[in-house]
Amino acid sequence: MSNIKTVEAPEGVEGQGFFATSLEKVVGIARSNSLWPLPFATSCCGIEFMATMGSTYDIARFGSERPSFSPRQADLLMVMGTIAKKMAPIVKQVYEQMAEPRWVLAMGACACSGGIFDTYSVLQGIDRIIPVDVYIPGCPPRPEQVLDGLMQVQELAKNESLRRRNSPEYQELLASYNIK
């Protein structure tokens, strides 16, 4: 049984010795199969992410085997675990330093909603400071859930229009988070 992921050819015109499709579809396939995650792990969800990186679950099958610890080289911010309100400006700064296109994955109950920590010091979901594309529930979520979340981000990356990031709706979304 092979662990190699095959990529379906996009819609296009096929002939002897050539294949033509739109640039947008080719870029989408390239983006979706070469996501570079920046893991922002603070607690037990980080341990589950480490398990996902291991050989049993092998996140490398999805083109994400290179975790980037520099926001300027990453395009997927994976926020995992409890985020204290004091850390919120740092998470937002990391997000702002990432180049477009960028996606955010909130992993675990604490990153999604504050989890069991309904206290004055814990941020009740990272979507209060940055836009989130995919939520992975659980405390902590299993590695299979992490892989499913990653596949959802891949679908977003593959199907996203090249011009969406320049749209007034996207600019309005960023403005609602006070992000330039």
Binding site listing: 44-45, 110, 139
Q: Is the peptide bond before 89 cis (omega within 30 degrees of 0)?
A: no
Instruction: Look at strands 103-107 and 13-15 and give their pairing.
Output: unpaired
Query: Using CA atoms, how far apart are residues 83 and 124, in angstroms rounded to an integer?
Result: 8
Annotated binding site for [4Fe-4S] cluster: 44-45, 110, 139
Nearest Cα neighbor of 112 from 95, 132, 98, 93 is 132
Rounded Cα gap, residues 73 and 31, in angstroms: 13
Gyration radius of the chain's alpha carbons: 17
